[in-house]
């Protein structure tokens, strides 16, 4: 009788590794997008993260380490490769140390003369497993490489100029699609129906907000509430930027994207890719990712990655298919009750204690805000505690 297969390794907290991973102050740390950030260290200590998340999207500045928790500031840093998830607020918050994600501490790469290779940049998130293995992730391309222990850290210093794979002389592969016109007509019809339905919905919402504001004023109620502020943004439901003028943009994907409509993508049933002549990722795994197919030296390469890393793997003409036009047909602006705090405005926690400042980029629905005296409070994931604004610091915001 054959021995049973060993159980698969499970993800573990990087903070449990021995010896501990570097956690230098100051430095950039990464936490999963679903890991709550707390207003106090006590709250963070009382809520250890579970389960271990599989992606790190939130980047923050490490301020201090307090036993099993860390203090951080949600300040953006454009040089951090996982800094795409901006919170819109610069807040001092706390998170359990076990929520921190291991990161690549220095660049790792493997390049070959045939143009294939992979690269992990400083800050790429790393999954740590119970069997001691460590695998880095470069955005949408999935598992890329095993990372040596001395290349791991919990806090990193992002370089201002990221490294890259050696340049290659390549051009986009072309895969003309004979069905593009029919698909484009169907996309336009669907977009027009969606725009018409949304126009009716937004107009009804606009008129309801106007009526609620008028009733509040007629009743003599005072104080700035979320519905009152929202109604101020909608001076007329028939104005040039109103919901009733939510219209379909009169252009299609072929009007704007004639070159991309002839681009290639990897087939789901394509053969295994190779890097340096060795098997790389499964074709089906990469086919669902954002990638380009390019021609180089008479062959085809699949090129994928993001700010944290990239991968170039060899494929064949028989394993690629037309990408088809991207959906460029869309809709115009709609005014809905969105609000935004002005840049630099001070925000507080619900008890009135200072929380930080707003950067003026995060807009929220008025219906998602609750009035507490002269303040409007919202929940902003992953911040576990509501963020409160002075009503005088909040203004209507147009959303497109």
> pTM score > 0.85 for this model?
no
What pLDDT score was predicted for residue 147? 82
Question: Which residue range is the domain that position 244 belongs to?
Answer: 214-251+331-399
- Shortest CA distance to 102 belongs to which of 144, 80, 131, 134? 134
Angstrom distance (rounded) from CA 223 to CA 221: 7
Radius of gyration of the CA atoms of the chain, in A: 25
Length of the chain in terms of residues written: 400
Count CB-CB contacts under 10 A for residue 364. 23
| 244 within domain boundaries | yes
Count CB-CB contacts under 10 A for residue 25. 13
Instruction: Quote the tokens at residue 71.
Output: 């203090």
3-class secondary-structure state, position 143: strand
pLDDT in tens, the chain (400 residues): 455 555 566 777 888 888 888 998 999 999 887 789 999 999 999 988 765 555 557 889 999 999 899 999 998 888 998 876 678 999 999 999 989 988 999 998 889 999 998 888 999 888 887 776 776 665 545 555 678 888 899 999 999 888 999 999 999 888 887 776 677 778 888 888 887 787 777 777 767 766 776 676 566 555 445 444 444 444 456 544 343 443 444 444 444 344 445 888 888 787 778 888 888 776 666 766 678 899 988 789 998 888 888 889 998 888 888 876 544 444 444 445 788 999 999 999 999 999 999 999 899 988 889 888 889 999 998 899 999 999 889 988 765 4
| 341 within domain boundaries | yes
| 380 within domain boundaries | yes
State the total domains in the chain.
1
| 268 within domain boundaries | no
- pLDDT per position as a tens digit, 335-371: 457 889 999 999 999 999 999 999 998 999 888 898 8
- pLDDT per position as a tens digit, 320-338: 888 765 444 444 444 457 8
| 359 within domain boundaries | yes
Angstrom distance (rounded) from CA 124 to CA 80: 9
**CA 275 to each of CA 115, 204, 303: distance values in angstroms, whole numbers, following the listed order:** 9, 56, 11
Angstrom distance (rounded) from CA 154 to CA 19: 12
Count CB-CB contacts under 10 A for residue 305. 24
- Shortest CA distance to 110 belongs to which of 151, 146, 159? 146
| 71 within domain boundaries | no
Angstrom distance (rounded) from CA 305 to CA 290: 7
Angstrom distance (rounded) from CA 260 to CA 327: 11
| 352 within domain boundaries | yes
| 237 within domain boundaries | yes
- Shortest CA distance to 241 belongs to which of 331, 327, 329? 331
H helices present in the chain, as ranges: 41-45, 180-218, 226-232, 253-256, 283-287
């Amino acid at each position: 009788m054959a021995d049973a297969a060993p159980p698969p390794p499970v993800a573990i907290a990087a903070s449990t590794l021995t010896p501990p991973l570097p956690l230098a102050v100051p430095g950039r740390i990464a936490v999963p997008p679903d890991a709550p950030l707390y207003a106090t260290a006590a709250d963070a200590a009382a809520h250890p993260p579970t389960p271990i998340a599989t992606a790190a999207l939130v980047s923050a500045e490490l301020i201090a380490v307090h036993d099993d928790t860390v203090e951080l500031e949600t300040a953006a840093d454009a040089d951090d490769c996982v800094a795409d998830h901006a919170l819109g607020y610069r807040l001092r918050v706390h998170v359990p140390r076990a929520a921190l994600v291991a990161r690549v501490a220095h660049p790792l790469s493997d390049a070959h003369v045939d143009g294939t290779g992979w690269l992990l940049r400083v800050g790429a998130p790393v999954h740590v497993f119970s069997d001691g293995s460590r695998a880095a992730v470069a955005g949408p391309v999935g598992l890329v490489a095993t990372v040596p222990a001395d290349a791991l850290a919990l806090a990193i210093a992002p370089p201002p100029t990221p490294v890259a794979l050696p340049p290659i002389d390549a051009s986009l592969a072309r895969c003309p699609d004979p069905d593009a016109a029919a698909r484009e007509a169907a996309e336009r019809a669907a977009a027009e129906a969606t725009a018409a339905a949304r126009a009716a919905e937004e107009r009804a919402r606009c008129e309801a907000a106007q009526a609620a504001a008028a009733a509040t004023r007629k009743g003599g109620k005072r104080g700035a509430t979320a519905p009152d502020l929202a109604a101020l943004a909608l001076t007329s439901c028939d104005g040039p930027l109103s919901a009733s003028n939510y219209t379909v943009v009169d252009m299609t994907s072929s009007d704007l994207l004639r070159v991309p409509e002839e681009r290639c993508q990897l087939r789901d049933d394509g053969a295994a890719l190779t890097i340096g002549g060795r098997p790389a990722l499964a074709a089906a795994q990469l086919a669902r990712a954002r990638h380009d197919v390019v021609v180089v030296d008479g062959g085809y390469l699949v090129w994928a990655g993001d700010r944290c890393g990239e991968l170039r793997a060899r494929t064949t003409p028989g394993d690629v298919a037309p990408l088809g036009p991207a959906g460029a047909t869309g809709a115009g602006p709609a005014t809905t009750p969105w609000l935004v705090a002005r840049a630099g405005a001070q925000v507080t926690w619900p008890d009135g204690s200072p929380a930080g400042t707003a950067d003026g980029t995060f807009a929220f629905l008025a219906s998602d805000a609750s009035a507490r005296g002269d303040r409007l409070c919202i929940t902003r994931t992953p911040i576990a505690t509501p963020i409160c604004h002075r009503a005088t610091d909040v203004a209507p915001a147009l959303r497109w």
